[in-house]
Amino acid sequence: MSALAMKPKAQMGQTEIVARVVDVNKSFGTLQVLKNINLEIHKGEVVLLLGPSGSGKSTLLRTLNVLETIDSGEITISDELMGQRVTAKGLRPLRESRIAEQRRRTGMVFQQFNLFPNMTALENVAAGPIHVEGKSKREATAAAKELLAMVGLPDKGSNYPIHLSGGQQQRVAIARALAMRPDIMLFDEPTSALDPEMVKEVLETLVNLRRDGMTMIVVSHEMSFARAAADRVIFMDAGEIVEEASPADFFDNPKTERACKFLGQLV
């Protein structure tokens, strides 16, 4: 742990680990949804999580910011043990208020956007800094304006979510997560609820984020995005990581039968 505590500089790139998942298991009742998951995500890396529905990919993503708790194992984000604390009797769950603080390290984007409908786009983006970090309204609003410009919506700040298209809502949601300056962004099927013509604008936003060096885990079935922007593809099935490869290797030469079968079903 002491080696990890000394943060390497960004230019060391691939060597700095932002997220580490060690021997993670989770069950819902008798159904084991995560089976001994091990994973390391490096700084600036874009990882695509792929797999059939029910494979555990969304659950894995949600364990990273403790929206789901784990039954055993360890998850570390930027050297902080998430959701648990070390005691003499082993690992114990943290209090919810402490977990809330830890979640600032991660930004999450949901399939259904989940913007706050009673707030304007600008208020949505400023909500985290104001209500979580205790920043002044003026400071948070100024920063929120910049973020909205960054996702290509400089003039939509005063719109309520219902007056935005799905693609615009999702970009506001991305800006809202970025406002907390997370170490890693978690995308849970960010384009699955979008009309086809809006998928592109959201994926472009993700590509821009990658260019800025953001570390990202993306649960998605967007092949074009995977090929263009992912550094690594992780294929899950039945709660296990089945295959891990570069996008080109995975899509053109899948090694496992399960991956072949899955890819054959994709259009």
How far apart CA 200 and CA 108 sit, in angstroms, is 19
* 265 interacts with another protein by CB under 8 A: no
Nearer to another protein, 82 or 242 (CB): 82
Nearer to another protein, 107 or 239 (CB): 107
> Considering the complex, what minimum distance in angstroms separates the CB of residue 160 from another protein?
4
Q: Which of 55, 59, 65, 169 binds another protein (CB under 8 A)?
A: 65
Environment class of residue 11 by beta-carbon count within 10 Å: exposed (0-12), middle (13-18) or buried (19+)? exposed
How far apart CA 134 and CA 120 sit, in angstroms, is 19
* 171 interacts with another protein by CB under 8 A: no
* 137 interacts with another protein by CB under 8 A: no
* 181 interacts with another protein by CB under 8 A: no
> Considering the complex, what minimum distance in angstroms separates the CB of residue 52 from another protein?
23
Q: Which residue has the tokens 């296990």?
A: 240
How far apart CA 227 and CA 223 sit, in angstroms, is 6
Q: Which of 22, 91, 132, 223 binds another protein (CB under 8 A)?
A: 132
Size of the site for another protein (CB under 8 A): 33
Nearer to another protein, 28 or 116 (CB): 116
* 216 interacts with another protein by CB under 8 A: no
* 96 interacts with another protein by CB under 8 A: yes
Only segment of 23-31, 175-183, 217-225, 231-239 that touches another protein (CB under 8 A): 175-183
* 187 interacts with another protein by CB under 8 A: no
Greatest distance between any 2 Cα atoms in the chain: 55
For residue 124, what are the contacts with CB-CB under 8 A and spacing of at least 6?
Answer: 115, 116, 161, 172, 173, 176
- The SS3 of residue 19 is strand
Residue 62 · residue 16 · CB < 8 Å? no
Residue 128 · residue 100 · CB < 8 Å? no
Query: How many Å is the Cα radius of gyration of the chain?
Result: 19
Only segment of 52-60, 75-83, 128-136, 225-233 that touches another protein (CB under 8 A): 128-136
Exposure class string for 38-68: b at 16+ Cβ within 10 A, else e: ebebbbbbbbbbbbbeebbbbbbbbbbbbbb
> Considering the complex, what minimum distance in angstroms separates the CB of residue 176 from another protein?
7
For residue 99, what are the contacts with CB-CB under 8 A and spacing of at least 6?
Answer: 66, 82, 83
* 116 interacts with another protein by CB under 8 A: yes
Q: Which of 48, 177, 194, 226 binds another protein (CB under 8 A)?
A: 177
Q: Which of 20, 26, 57, 103 binds another protein (CB under 8 A)?
A: 103
Binding site for another protein (CB under 8 A): 65, 67, 96-97, 100-104, 106-108, 110, 112, 114-120, 127-128, 131-132, 160-163, 173, 176-177, 180
